Amino acid sequence: MKLLKALACTSLLAAATFAAPAVAQERIALVVKSLGNGFFDAAARGAEAAAAEIGGIEVIYTGPTSASAEGQIEIVNSLIAQNVDAIAISANDPDALVPVLQRAMDRGIKVLSWDSGVAEEGRMLHLNPSDTALIGETIIKLAADYLPDGGDVAILSASSTATNQNAWIAAAEEALPTMFPNINLVAVVYGDDDSVKSTNEALGLLQTYPDLDAIIAPTTVGVVAAAQVVTDEGLIGQVNVTGLALPSEFKQFIDNGASQAVALWNPIDLGYSAVYLAHALVGGQEAAPGATFGIGSVGEVTLDDSTSAAMAAPFTFDASNIEEFSQIY
């Protein structure tokens, strides 16, 4: 009995030491889909860089262990209680987070979404990493560039409810008939951004479609799983894996030939820009359609009619530059 109490006490005291007593004038929370994801860790580094440039800003980098809307709501509740100045969130669900983010705004907290958006009524502005249509086109182009005679491709996505992946896939399907008439999209499967599930789904694709020419995974978890499966099954040169990947995690598969090229925007810039935007909102700038925000060294963005903005176009990594970028993120 005493052991339990002692355990509870010591654990809480241990936890208490996590609380850095740093006092900054402005606290900006960077809420991500899930922790332990290289993409978001890179974004957090960018956010820290922006905070250091601006000065007087404390970045709270946080997110749930599993990518769920309920987990993010618990985190937003605790951020509201901490009375942070701004919340910049990459949402697991565009709708479920709206009520709690509205409550945050009611309590005077500035709210913006980045990467994966929240419905308009739940945030002041949204920062897209790139243009949805352009990404959809890019992920098909990455496969098509190496299939001059056309072929069968399949998409391995994140969860079936992920906002951004679904938008890209929709854009890709739109681009297919006009821009890539000889590319045939045979299936879209969902690996839930879970390594094991993604691996199983990739294996399933290879078994169901023996003539598959490329797997396109517009998610950093799925693309690694798919490339690993192609490597393990000895299908290098037969099935090309491509999609959106972190250079540092994916370098080995460019090196071994399981993939010809992948693309990604710069997550460091994304976290960096999110902090600049949050700081501008805290400073009183209005997020109205047409408003222009400076985002430090990245440049500036202009809000469209749905108060969202696009940061930059995705950047392609292949054998020529993967080494250099794998050192960065």
Site of interaction with other proteins (CB under 8 A): 1, 3-5, 7-9, 11-13, 15-16, 18-19, 35-36, 60, 62-66, 68-71, 73-75, 77-78, 80-83, 93-96, 98-99, 159-161, 166
38: which 2 tokens?
Answer: 């290289």
Q: Which is nearer to other proteins, 47 or 280 (CB)?
A: 47
User: Minimal distance in Å, beta carbon 162 to other proteins?
Assistant: 8
Minimum Å gap between C-beta 323 and other proteins is 31
Residue with smaller CB distance to other proteins, 53 or 95: 95
CB of 97 to other proteins, least distance (A): 8
Q: Tell the smallest beta-carbon distance from residue 90 to other proteins (Å).
A: 15
CB nearer other proteins, residue 99 or residue 299: 99
Burial class, 23, CB count within 10 angstroms (exposed 0-12 / middle 13-18 / buried 19+): exposed
Closer CB to other proteins, 74 or 324, in the complex: 74
Cβ 95 to other proteins shortest distance, Å? 4
Q: Which is nearer to other proteins, 8 or 319 (CB)?
A: 8
CB of 137 to other proteins, least distance (A): 21
Cβ 98 to other proteins shortest distance, Å: 6
- Beta pairing, strands 125-128 & 110-114: parallel
CB-nearer residue toward other proteins: 201 or 213: 201
Closer Cβ to other proteins, 192 or 213, answer by number: 192
- Residue 255: CB minimum distance to other proteins, A: 31
Residues whose CB is less than 8 angstroms from the CB of residue 137 and which lie 6 or more positions away in sequence, other chains included: 171, 172, 175, 179
Identity (one letter) of the amino acid at 92?
N
As a whole number of angstroms, the distance between CA 31 and CA 178 comes to: 38
- HEC letters along the chain: CHHHHHHHHHHHHHHHCCCCCCCCCEEEEEECCCCCCHHHHHHHHHHHHHHHHHCCEEEEEECCCCCCHHHHHHHHHHHHHCCCCEEEECCCCCCCCHHHHHHHHHCCCEEEEECCCCCHHHCCEEEECCCHHHHHHHHHHHHHCCCCCCEEEEEEECCCCCHHHHHHHHHHHHHHHHHCCCEEEEEEEECCCCHHHHHHHHHHHHHHCCCCCEEEECCHHHHHHHHHHHHHCCCCCCCEEEEECCHHHHHHHHHCCCCCEEEECCHHHHHHHHHHHHHHHHCCCCCCCCCEEECHHHCEEECCCCCEEECCCCEEEECCCHHHHHCCC
Q: Which is nearer to other proteins, 18 or 148 (CB)?
A: 18
Please, what is the minimum distance in Å from the beta carbon of residue 259 to other proteins?
26
Decide whether 190 or 276 has the Cβ nearer to other proteins. Answer: 190
